[in-house]
Amino acid sequence: MSFPDNLKPKEPSGASLLARERQQSPIAVDALGAHIFAGTGFLARQARVLSVMAAEPLLDKSRQQQLSRVDRVRLGLARGKLLRRLQARHGWDMDDYHMAAYLLGEQSPYRLHVGMFRTTIQEQASDAQRAYWMPRVDAWEVTGTYSQTELGHGSNVRGVELEARWDPAAKEFVVHSPTLTAAKWWNGSLGRTANHAVLMAQLMVPDPKRKGEYVSHGPQAFIAQIRDAKTHLPLEGIVIGDIGVKIGFASMDNGYMLFDQLRIPHSALLSRYVQLDPETSVFSKSPNAALSYGTMTSIRTVLVEEAGTHLARAVTIAIRYTAIRQQFKDKDSQDPGRDELQVLDYPTVQYRLFPLLAAAFALQYTGKVMRQDYAKTRGEVEQGNLDGLAVMHSHSSGLKSLSTEITNAGIETCRRAMGGHGYGSGSGLVEMQKDYQAKPILEGDNWMITQQTSSFLIKRMAAAVETRGEPAKDQTDAQLKTFLDQKDQGRAFDILNNDSDIQESFRWRAASMTYDAYKARVVDKKKHNDLLIQFHKLSHAHSSSIMVASFFTTLTSSHDLPPETKEVVLDLYRLFAYTAIQAESYECKDLDALPDRIQALLARIRPHAVKLVDAWQIPDYLLDSALGRYDGNVYDDLFNRAHRLNPLNDVVFNPDYKDDEIIKGSGERKPLSSKL
């Protein structure tokens, strides 16, 4: 017992300030939570899985940021094993398992095994291959990675250099890296964990007409063993390793891999959509090969939902902390005895945080709509109707880009709004932000993939122009044709007084920008590359319109919210739309009225801010944040983390520069973790 143990933070306490916040707002927290997660079973699953995890010392997060990279990977692997055992012990289904990974909040070295490795086999293996591999994958008898990007090629998949040459005599593929840049690179779970890989390699088949020459059939997926089952060392002819430290993803072994004439059997080629006849060496492709894009679409859809949950975490922390943090007295107040202001009372703080609060709601509504659309499209595909796939692919690309932009920038804004303490690990944002910084470049770089959205829109506009006068064939067509019919007289929107007009104005703007892009590329035949900036803006405008419409439609068509709660969420809708209009300087007659409107909305939302974030019900365990604690005991927690949990404080240093000694004899350090 030393004197700090008797000290309390100054009054009023964080707990009392949060209690006051919760008292002053009529928001129906539980109803709003149920509304947000309606139909997903999310909250019940979260509670059930969390109760199991809470009992496991290995899943305690308090010292993990102190570890060396090697120890961090060890810890990640140990936890990965534990989660799999918990799955077996408690009979968790895959949704339970993913919930546990979500709550742990780190990149598991098994992530690719349960993710892209499994998904790719499931979707691209023939029935026979599925029957062979899936039981082994699900029992974790093999552990896998998905190996596509290379040292020299990321976005341009068609440019991968790894070769798989068909040897008709031996009926084997010879996998070979012709250059250093052909090294597989960045592949998660590869560096130290996986013993199998799905490999993307250029399929090369001997040219029947020119002896010694090969015909390329582009990058195809193969499955291969890469490490020895017993020694776990790379097989002869393969070199594998971890690529090193990254911004985040510390627990993940992103790897590299090179091949020297490795031979794999004919059965390695994943053959649901492509086949190579082992007898004739004839290559064939199924007409449904485009279905393999489904994986990418599904992952991008998940990234949109994830953008919502991650932004919600950052916003929860920032709003709770700025509600208990007090700094400076009101300059216009006459009362010298008054407390310092809560930081959340400053319009400069509301101006940064509340649009993000609104954006998190927008992302959650959008994720929900995307999930429903994706399920519908998948259903249609199974009925043989592939039309919806291209729409889904276009929407998911643009939304992945916009949503991860919003969240990546939003986390930094939340961090910054918390001042000094936002920079420390007690914020709970340090690891989360570092990990999240991968998302804008992952699964398609955010600038690159907006071309997919704009190309789709331009194609659809060209079709609408050509078939003008004919009935619309789907929703996109209808919107574009409406625009074509009305564009000459123009349309006026009353965004200040009509909530539906707000979303209509976004739609109109997206259609108008689609028309401009169509004109530039198709009519005026401008160079593709010279239009890339315009395409990017078009994609973001289109994605914004989807977000605004998803927000409006889902909210206004729901009947599960008390009216005063619904009205506050409607204010968030308005704020989200107005700040987007202002940031992009949309051409809009009401632009000059927006700053005052926005400041009025900030003031209206202010009393409800804490209860709005409470509604997400993000557990303290996931937040791992002294600043964002539900109970508001911020300062005690920060002090506890520093004073009692920081291993650096077990070491006494010698600061005398003339002395070689670094650590003074009396202060020998204890091991960093006794858990491993």
Binders in 81-100 for its own copies, by CB under 8 A: 81, 84-85
Q: Which long-range contacts (CB under 8 A, 24 or more apart) does 96-104 make?
A: 96/45, 96/48, 96/49, 99/45, 99/46, 99/49, 100/49, 100/52, 100/53, 102/309, 102/622, 103/46, 103/49, 103/50, 103/53, 103/619, 103/621, 103/622, 104/53, 104/59, 104/79
Residue labelled with tokens 């008898």? 141
Binders in 124-143 for its own copies, by CB under 8 A: 140, 143
Binders in 52-71 for its own copies, by CB under 8 A: 65-71
Q: Which is nearer to its own copies, 447 or 621 (CB)?
A: 447
Stretch that binds its own copies, among 162-170, 212-220, 320-328, 362-370 (CB under 8 A): 320-328
User: With binding defined as CB under 8 A, does residue 191 bind its own copies?
Assistant: yes
Residue 654 CB, shortest distance to its own copies, in Å, is 6
User: With binding defined as CB under 8 A, does residue 16 bind its own copies?
Assistant: no
Residue labelled with tokens 């208990």? 324
Residue 455 CB, shortest distance to its own copies, in Å, is 10
Please tell me the distance from the alpha carbon of residue 585 to that of residue 266, in angstroms, as a whole number.
57
Stretch that binds its own copies, among 191-199, 207-215, 367-375, 391-399 (CB under 8 A): 191-199
Residue 357 CB, shortest distance to its own copies, in Å, is 17
Q: Which is nearer to its own copies, 192 or 272 (CB)?
A: 192
Under 8 Å between Cβ of 164 and 259: no
Q: Which is nearer to its own copies, 68 or 372 (CB)?
A: 68
Q: Running DSSP on this structure, what letter comes out for residue 591?
A: G
Is 149 annotated in a binding site? The answer is yes
Q: Hey, is 285 helix, strand or coil?
A: strand
Choose, by CB under 8 A, the member of 95, 340, 470, 474 that binds its own copies.
340
Stretch that binds its own copies, among 197-205, 422-430, 494-502, 569-577 (CB under 8 A): 422-430
Q: Running DSSP on this structure, what letter comes out for residue 227?
A: B
User: With binding defined as CB under 8 A, does residue 243 bind its own copies?
Assistant: yes
Q: Which is nearer to its own copies, 298 or 646 (CB)?
A: 646
Q: Which is nearer to its own copies, 79 or 395 (CB)?
A: 79
From residue 545, alpha-carbon distances to 219, 221, 452, 501, 538 in Å are 35, 36, 17, 12, 11
Please tell me the distance from the alpha carbon of residue 507 to that of residue 505, in angstroms, as a whole number.
5
Residues in the chain: 676
User: With binding defined as CB under 8 A, does residue 412 bind its own copies?
Assistant: yes
User: With binding defined as CB under 8 A, does residue 231 bind its own copies?
Assistant: yes
Residue 514 CB, shortest distance to its own copies, in Å, is 18
User: With binding defined as CB under 8 A, does residue 246 bind its own copies?
Assistant: yes
Neighbours of 661 (CB within 10 A): 9
Binders in 154-173 for its own copies, by CB under 8 A: 154-156, 159, 161
Q: Which is nearer to its own copies, 341 or 484 (CB)?
A: 341
443 is catalytic: yes
Contacts of 352 (CB under 8 A, 6+ apart): 413, 416, 417
User: With binding defined as CB under 8 A, does residue 669 bind its own copies?
Assistant: yes
User: With binding defined as CB under 8 A, does residue 195 bind its own copies?
Assistant: yes
CB burial of 285-296 (b: ≥16 within 10 Å; e: otherwise) equals: eeeeeebbebbb
Show the DSSP H helices in 325-386 as ranges. 347-382
Indicate the Cα dihedral angle 414, 417, 422, 423, nearest 10°.
Answer: 100
User: With binding defined as CB under 8 A, does residue 635 bind its own copies?
Assistant: yes
- Choose among 633, 33, 25, 605: nearest CA to 352: 605
User: With binding defined as CB under 8 A, does residue 578 bind its own copies?
Assistant: no
User: With binding defined as CB under 8 A, does residue 348 bind its own copies?
Assistant: yes
Is 255 annotated in a binding site? The answer is no
Binders in 514-543 for its own copies, by CB under 8 A: 527-530, 532-533, 536
Catalytic residue of the set 21, 443, 466, 567 = 443
User: With binding defined as CB under 8 A, does residue 654 bind its own copies?
Assistant: yes
Q: Running DSSP on this structure, what letter comes out for residue 289?
A: G
User: With binding defined as CB under 8 A, does residue 672 bind its own copies?
Assistant: yes
Contacts of 245 (CB under 8 A, 6+ apart): 69
- Which residues are known to be catalytic? 443
Q: Name the binding residues.
A: 149, 188
